Amino acid sequence: MRTKLPRHSGVLLHISSLPSPFGIGDLGTEAYAFADTLASSGFDHWQILPLGPTGYGNSPYASRSTFAGNELFIDVRSLVRSDLLSESDIACPPPFPTDHVDFEAVLAWKLPLVKRAALRFLQKHDQTDRTFDYRMFCDSERYWLDDYALFMTLYEHYHDARWFSHWHEDHGHRKQGAIAAYLAAHAQEVEIWKVMQFLFHLQWLDFRRHVNRLGIKLIGDLPIFVAADSVDTWSNLELFKTDTEGNFTALSGVPPDFFSATGQLWGNPVYDWNACAHTGYRWWIQRISRALQYTDILRIDHFRGFDAYWEVPAGQITAEHGTWVQAPGQDFFATLRRVLGEVPIIAEDLGVMTPSVEQLRDTNGFPGMKICQFGFSLDPQGNLDAYDEFLPHNYGYGCVAYTGTHDNDTTLGWFKSIDSRLQAETCRYLHCSPNEVVMSMIRAVIASHAQYVVVPVQDIFNLDSKARMNTPSTCGPGNWTWRLTDSQFHRFPSDHLHELLKTYGRISVEKLPLPV
């Protein structure tokens, strides 16, 4: 009897993109309702973007901390129920836009509210279980929490200026006496940041329990690099390539290619892998272990950087004059496995992959990614290449198939942007008319042999380029801001998707009846 290989399906939607009355998606009613909707549709995975607090540009891939949760995702309605805020505190939020996040306005209104709740928590001074839990949280998370709370307090003190260029030298270089004096003078402010992380922690664990009870796993996202302007670099500078004065000597990016004649200079500092290895990769293991507190599977962004990465000397304005530098990927993942056991990882293996990157991925058993949009290009004769690895009929089992990702245009936007000949070939391949392309592509990836299929929610709603989440290598005002509206949220096509997933064997037997 032939073994039936399990087939899974999921939806890509970041927490910030959920509807809510408070300007940004959060861990409130709508998050729970969306999980219920996914379950009723037959999906068993929900993929999100990195959860860290964002800085300039609002990119979750350049967060203030790789360990902390975004305080703006805290549900203020839950804080009212916990008697940490009053109904009047949240009764009259500003008239936030409903289809995108105005980060500046949300930060100005919501962060002071969450701080107020944190202060009230501290002022209770009781011996309830919740107070005991907070102390336990502070003890168990001390390895990152103390530095984060101090860093964010200093960040406010310096009005969001970069720590490595605008802070007083004693603070930027963590001089022990100056740091101790600052902590003594700002103890309550530092403690408030710790409480906010505790509140996020409690709400996220409640949310994850709900999601998992529905039979859904959360796919998290871990950028390989961290932001220069983060507590991660400030408190672990020895793990990055620097000169004798602590200045970053090299930055990350990718070399010139078909898409960019000058490459992409990302600007993240690069790791001193020898220093990381000397510690037994302790910081990395802590980082991944922490991420798995909140998610079930980790997608590692720019996976190829564990094999080799493009290093550009500091001071360059493009990525043209860099070099490939080897990284100890096999040793790292072997060490990770010894400490944590088997870690569920999805390797973001897009772009030009070398045999050694593929070997690193495959020997560790990590599924790679296939992006359906990438499969549609014309050969010199004006035909599709039937052997293109990104066309659904070529997917092997060990991969995660997407119509597109957060970095791509929506499928409708992409289709409208390509020339008429490619549009015709796309429709020919998908056996559909032009106005059926998006759902036909969704059907094609769901029908493929891929073990996992993940569909961005924008494609489920057939949205155009205005719903794009991010345009790489830009800092445009529309990046990272898109949100589902309430009306879209309540028009999720559960019945149709359930039938599609059932048809192609992506719903387990116990999930076949459509919940009422």
Q: Determine the 3-state secondary structure of 161 from DSSP.
A: coil
CA angle 122, 125, 128 (to 5 degrees): 105
- CA distance linking residue 180 with residue 172, whole number of Å: 13
Q: Determine the 3-state secondary structure of 45 from DSSP.
A: strand
Residue from 99, 102, 272, 407 carrying the catalytic annotation: 407
Residue 253 and residue 263 in contact, taking contact as beta carbons nearer than 8 Å: yes
Residue from 348, 349, 409, 459 carrying the catalytic annotation: 348
Taking residue 352's Cβ as centre, other Cβ atoms within 10 Å add up to: 10
CA angle 149, 154, 160 (to 5 degrees): 110
- The enclosing H or E element of 268 equals strand 264-269
Is-catalytic flag, 301? yes
- CA distance linking residue 507 with residue 490, whole number of Å: 22
Nearest-10 crossing angle of helices 437-447, 420-430: 50
Token duo for residue 338: 């010894």
Token duo for residue 44: 């068993």
Residue from 26, 301, 311, 409 carrying the catalytic annotation: 301
- CA distance linking residue 396 with residue 386, whole number of Å: 15
Residue 10 and residue 48 in contact, taking contact as beta carbons nearer than 8 Å: no
Q: Determine the 3-state secondary structure of 509 from DSSP.
A: helix
**Helical residues (DSSP H) of 214-298, grouped into ranges:** 231-235, 273-278, 282-294
Residue 202 and residue 136 in contact, taking contact as beta carbons nearer than 8 Å: no
Phi/psi of residue 357, nearest 5 degrees: -65, -45
Q: Which of 474, 512, 493 is nearest to 44 (CA)?
A: 512
Residues paired with 325 in a beta bridge: 309
Is-catalytic flag, 342? no
- CA distance linking residue 479 with residue 9, whole number of Å: 26
CA distances, 506 to each of 498, 502, 503 (Å)? 9, 6, 8
CA angle 151, 108, 178 (to 5 degrees): 20
The residues assigned a catalytic role are 301, 348, 407
